[in-house]
A and B are shown apart, each in its own frame.
Chain A
Amino acid sequence: MTLTEWYEHARRDAEHRDIPELKVLIEMLHRETMVLRQTDWAMCGTLDRDNNNFDT
C-alpha cells in the first residue's frame, strides 16, 4: 500500500466513525509519516537508497 492509498483509506474510514477529532489527527499522522519515510536513516542500508522513489 502506498502512503497516498493509506491516507485515502484512513480518511474514508475516519469519516464513518463518530470521533470528530480523528480526521484532523489522521492528516497530522500523514504529514509525520511522510517525514519519517523521507528521512535518510543511514542504517536502513542499500535497499532504501536504491529505491528512493517514495510515494508522497
Chain B
Amino acid sequence: MTQTSIQTLAKDIRKGHLTSRDLVEQCLASITERDPVLNAFITVLADDARKQAHEADTEISRGNDRGLLHGVPISLKDIIDISGTATSAASRVRNGHCATTDAAVVTRLREAGAIVIGKCNLHEFAFGTTGADSAFGPTRNPYAEDRIAGGSSSGSAVSVATGMAVASIGTDTGGSIRIPASACGVVGLKPTFGDVSADGIIPLAPSLDHVGPLTRVVADAAIIHQVIKDHRIDKTPASAAGLHQKHIGVPRRYFLDNIDAAVGEVFECTVRRLDAAGGHVTDVDIPHAADTASVYLHTQLSEAATCHRLMLETKGEAYCPSVRARLELGRYVLAEDYLLAQRGREILRQEVDAALAETDALLLPTLPIIPPKIGVTMTEVGGKRDSVRALTLRLTQLFDLTGHPAISVPCGTAEGLPVGMQLVGRRNETEALLTLAAQFEDVMRD
C-alpha cells in the first residue's frame, strides 16, 4: 500500500475494492507496528479517523463524492491547528494548549473529504533540520533507525514513507519539507511563497514560511496542492510536453562544490538519464549563491526571535537547549543587518529569476550529504568539516528566501539511504513545476 497513489486508491474506493475504513485501519496498523521505534506521531486521532472514514464511505456510496481526497487518511505536522486538539510544536513550551479553530489548510482538506489520522513529530517549533530536538524524542529514519529522518517535518516524511498516512502536510522555512522528503525517500513540495495560507499554523519566520504536501508520488502532491492552495491562477499554464523539449539548468558553482561523493554520483547519473531522455541540460550560475547562508541567517533568526519573544521571556527554560540558544541568537541581529539581508534577498531573487528565464527548471540535489546519525552535529564533506545544520540547509534555503517553488523527488540511494533531487520552477508557476516533476519522476523510474 505504501506506494499506491491517491488516484489509484480513489479508483479502488469507487469500484468497491477498498473502503476508507480499510485505508484508515491499514494506516493505524502501520502506526502500531512501526511508530514505537520511529516516533513519527505525537497524537494519533484513531477514533476520529475511524468515525470520519465511516462517514466518507457512507457519503461516497450515496453518490456525494467530494473528489480524489475523499476518505484518504492524511497526517499533519504538529504546528498546524486542529480545533479541540493540542498543537504541541514538539515543545514543552506548549503544554496545556488546545486549538479552538482549524487552520485554513485543515478546513480545505476537510472540505475535500480528507481524514486527519494524526499529528506528526517535528524539530521543536520547526526550528531545525534533523528532527532530533523534540520534547517527544527524535524521529528515526525508516531506512536506518540510528539516523535522522531530516527535519523539521520529520514525522510527516516518516508517516508517508511507512504507510502510516497516505500523505502529509508540512511547512518549509529553510528546507523543512524537502529535507525530510529526501532523507526518507518521499516527494516534498514547497510551493511558491503565498500559494497556501499559513493561517492557523505556528509561524517560525513569516516571510519565509511555506506550507506544502509530502507524498508518495508527484501526482499526489499535485492533487493535494490543488486542494490546499489559495485560489489564484498560475501565470503560465502547465505544459504537457515531454521532458525532451525541456531545458534544465544546473547551478554547479557553490551548490555542487561541497557534496558527498555518493550523492554526487547519484546526481551525475540523474543528469545522464535526463540527457538520454532528450532533456537539454545546461549549466547556469547564481552569482551571489555563496552569500545565501548569511542572507538567510539574518532574515530567519530575526523573524524567529520576534515570533518567540514573549515565550522566551516567560518560558525560556522549557525549550530544547539548542533551539532556545538559536532563538536567543536572533535577538542579537542588528536592524541594519536584517535590512541589508533583505537587499541581498532581492538580488538573489533576481538572479534565480534570470537563471530560470532561459530554462524550464533548475536541478540540484536536495541534500549534499546522506542523513547522518542522530546526535551528530558536525560532519566532513570533501575534506572540509562543517555543521550538519549548515550542510542540510545549503541547497534548499535559497528558494525559501526567493519564494520560487521547489520539489524534492526520490532518485535512488547512496549507501542504502534515499537520495532526493530538487527541481526549482519559476515563481507563481507551481503547477508547471509539478507537471515537469511528474515527467522527471517517470524518467527516473524507467
Contact assessment for B334 and A36 in the assembled complex, using a CB-CB cutoff below 8 Å: no
A6 touches B347 (CB 8 A): no
| Interface assignment of B46: CB less than 8 Å from any CB of chain A | no
Chain A residues within 8 Å of B376, by CB: none
Are B298 and A32 neighbours in the complex by a CB distance under 8 Å? yes
Chain B contact-residue range equals 20 to 34
Compute how far the CA of A20 lies from the CA of B347 in the bound complex, rounded to whole angstroms: 36
- B322 within 8 Å of A by Cβ? yes
The answer to the question of A4 belonging to the interface, with a C-beta cut-off of 8 Å to chain B, is no
Tally of contacts, chain A with chain B, CB under 8 A: 64
The answer to whether A26 and B298 touch across the interface, beta carbons within 8 angstroms, is no
- Expressed in whole angstroms, the Cα–Cα distance for A35 and B288 within the complex equals 12
- Whether the Cβ atoms of A32 and B297 lie closer than 8 Å is yes
Chain A, interface size category, equals 20 to 34
What string of 1s and 0s marks CB contacts (under 8 Å) between A1-37 and chain B? 1000010001001000101111001100100110111
Residue picked from B332, B334, B344, most chain A C-beta under 10 Å = B332
Q: Which residues of A contact B340 (CB under 8 A)?
A: 36-37, 41, 44
Pairwise interchain contact A36-B295, C-beta atoms closer than 8 A:
yes
A35 near B347: Cβ-Cβ < 8 Å: no
Measured CB to CB, the nearest residue on chain B to A35 is B294
Determine which residue in A13, A17, A20, A36 has the highest number of CB atoms from chain B within 10 A of its CB, and name it. Answer: A36
Chain B's nearest CB lies how many Å from the CB of A44? 6
CA distance A29 to B233 in the complex (A): 40
Q: Does A39 contact B (CB under 8 A)?
A: yes
| Interface pair B344/A33, CB less than 8 Å apart | no
A55 to B344, CA, bound (A): 19
Kindly specify which of B117-125, B182-190, B222-230, B323-331 makes contact with the partner chain: B323-331
**Does B328 contact A19, Cβ atoms closer than 8 Å?**
yes
In the bound complex, residues from chain A placing their C-beta under 8 Å from that of B295 are 36
Contact call A33/B337, Cβ cutoff below 8 A: yes
Q: Are B332 and A37 in contact (CB under 8 A)?
A: no
Give the chain A neighbours of B344 by CB distance below 8 A: 36, 39, 41
Min Cβ gap B81→A in Å is 30
Q: Mark B302-335, 1 if CB is under 8 A from A, else 0.
A: 0000000000000000000110111011001110
Beta-carbon contact of B294 and A44 below 8 Å: no
Q: B291 touching A35 by the CB < 8 A rule?
A: yes
Judge whether B409 is part of the interface by a CB distance below 8 angstroms. Answer: no
Residue of chain B at shortest CB distance from A19: B325
Top 10 closest A-B pairs, CB basis?
Answer: A21-B325, A36-B294, A35-B294, A32-B294, A25-B329, A10-B332, A39-B291, A32-B297, A22-B325, A41-B343
Q: Which residues of A contact B (CB under 8 A)?
A: 1, 6, 10, 13, 17, 19-22, 25-26, 29, 32-33, 35-37, 39, 41-44
What are 16 A-B residue pairs whose CB atoms fall within 8 Å in the complex? A19-B321, A19-B324, A19-B325, A20-B325, A21-B322, A26-B332, A32-B297, A33-B298, A36-B294, A36-B340, A36-B341, A36-B344, A39-B291, A39-B344, A41-B343, A42-B347
